Amino acid sequence: MAEEDGYEVARRGAETMLGRDVASRGLGMELVEVAPGRAVIAMRIRDDMVNGYGLCHGGLLASVADTAFAVACNTYGEVTVAAGFDITFLESGRAGDLVHASAVERARRGRSGLYDVTVTRVEPGGGEVVLAEFRGRSRSLGKPIS
């Protein structure tokens, strides 16, 4: 029963946070999956998201990773914010690509957390290609999500 409760808390936290997240919604991000300490966010790269070389702007790949990170670290019912992150770009995304940012908790101690996010291209082509790896550091504010 406790596991089901954890999934419900995670779902409610994600719905509350994303329901208020105008930036992520404006970029077309959608929740694919959420569980305690985990989240998957999808984003379709649009024509207005590419740079002068026709490649997805790196800041937008960081944004989808940051949103997945934010959802994952807010799955315990407490308002949690980013303390910092690092991202490494491995491949380029292009207009039309569907990307998934998959976040997973690596450690949580007291009010601090550590999360890894992998950004993959899942369309077109069928095979997943890793576009970026992101590591986020979180800090709980100790207040309930409401």
Q: How confident is the model at residue 4 (pLDDT cuts 50, 70, 90)?
A: low
In this predicted structure, the answer to whether residue 127 has a pLDDT above a threshold of 90 is no
Amino acid at 143: K
Whether the per-residue pLDDT at 1 is higher than 50: the answer is no
What is the mean pLDDT of the segment spanning 55-62?
Answer: 97
DSSP 25-79: HHTT-EEEEEETTEEEEEEEPPGGGB-TTSSB-HHHHHHHHHHHHHHHHTTTSEE
**90 pLDDT more than 90:** yes
- Which are the contacts of 15, defined by CB distance < 8 A and separation ≥ 6? none
Average pLDDT over residues 6-10: 95
pLDDT value at 98 more than 90: yes
Domains of the chain from N-terminus onward:
2-144 (3.10.129.10)
3-state class of 83 per DSSP? Answer: strand
Positive or negative, the CA dihedral 44, 107, 109, 137 is: negative
Give the chain's mean pLDDT. Answer: 94
**Average pLDDT, integer, range 49-64:** 97
For residue 96, the tally of other CB atoms under 10 A from its CB is: 12
Asked if residue 24 has pLDDT above 50, the reply is: yes
For residue 142, the model assigns a pLDDT of: 92
How confident is the model at residue 2, as a pLDDT?
Answer: 56
Q: Is the pLDDT of residue 125 over 80?
A: no
Q: What tens digit of pLDDT does each residue of 64-78 get?
A: 999 999 999 999 999
pLDDT at 3: 56
